[in-house]
Amino acid sequence: MVSGKKLVICDAETEYAARLAEYLGGKRDLSLQVKICESPEQVLSMRRDTKIDILLADENMKFTEGVLDAIPEVMYLSVFETSAPPDHKPRIYRYQSADAIYTCLVDGLTASGMGDLWAVRKKNRGQLIGYYSPIRRLGQTSQAIKHGIQLAKKSNVLYLNMEPYAGIGGHFADEKERNLSMLLYYAKQEIGNPGLLITTLVQQMSGMDYIPPVTYPEDLKTVTTEEWLWLLREILERSIYDVLILDIGDCIQGIFDILQSCDQVYMMTSGDRLAVSKLCQYEETLCRHGYGSLWERMIRCDVRRSIKNKNTGAAGSVS
């Protein structure tokens, strides 16, 4: 059992501190031991007995010189909403929801590089499922979402849309700031713990977690193959998710390598002449670049058969 980091909330409003401690201590995806105190003297006493990794203190607390030097991360609870105080001390507005306080806390810790707060230590990596087809407009996103929602009935599922134009406002909420772009920024830096950041970004769709897609396609296009693979590996090995579903668009670097790393790959297909010609070209490209085995293990989802079965009331089929 991982003991976790130690976070101390120092606040004279003990009832407030207790409620916040209960919320943070109850986060199943964090490895935190949360304690509370009501004075700088109690912080000093705690520090003599044990290491304090994170201190969240009322900004009006007066600490004697040197007390805070041995605490790696110090953040302050403020009655002001200012995001850039003159003294540059990291502050969190105290009179907001516990969810919002948690998001601010995680953002600060992630930016500082203290990302080892992820409670999960898996025996086995999560399952990676990819959806990609060179043929467009065959319902790939709808099928991927439907699959994810079905799996989410029994497992923890995270869905990522990796298309340049995902249809914000259609399937997905319009989230201009806290979306996949923020996660990709940390992937490019390879700093912090993406699993920790994910907890502040996810939204839910019928029991399935998803991160709102990027607003600007350029945010996807600049991510390298190595950065994608690092991010996916971190999520698979260090998050609460049993299944990660990728809905992949054409602008992604390293599509073949990403698909090759998937445990299952679903490809939407159709039997019309144009679709068949695209599939033939795709097959030739895979084989020419040494990914012939990937083509062989792709699970074909024939749209014609699905529509036919839907009209007759039968279950859809995968070919």
Per-domain boundaries in the chain: 5-112, 127-312
Cα distance between residue 307 and residue 319, in whole Å: 13
Q: In this predicted model, what pLDDT tens digit does every residue of 15-46 receive, in sequence order? A: 999 999 988 887 766 667 889 999 999 999 88
- Does the domain at 5-112 match CATH 3.40.50.10850? Answer given as yes
* Domains 5-112 and 127-312 equal at CATH topology level: yes
- Does the domain at 127-312 match CATH 3.40.50.300? Answer given as yes
- In this structure, the number of other CB atoms found within 10 A of the CB of residue 184 comes to 21
Could you give phi then psi for residue 253, rounded to 5 degrees?
-70, 140
Q: What is the mean pLDDT of residues 123-132?
A: 87
What pLDDT, on a 0 to 100 scale, did the predictor assign at position 20? 93
189 versus 146: which is more confidently predicted? 146
Q: In this predicted model, what pLDDT tens digit does every residue of 223-267 receive, in sequence order? A: 999 999 999 998 898 788 999 999 999 999 999 999 999 999 999
Cα distance between residue 97 and residue 100, in whole Å: 5
Q: What angle do CA 235, 238, 243 make, to 5 degrees?
A: 50
Is there a contact between 37 and 65 (Cβ–Cβ < 8 Å)?
no
Cα distance between residue 1 and residue 91, in whole Å: 32
Give the burial class of 68: count Cβ atoms within 10 A of its Cβ; 0-12 exposed, 13-18 middle, 19 or more buried. Answer: middle
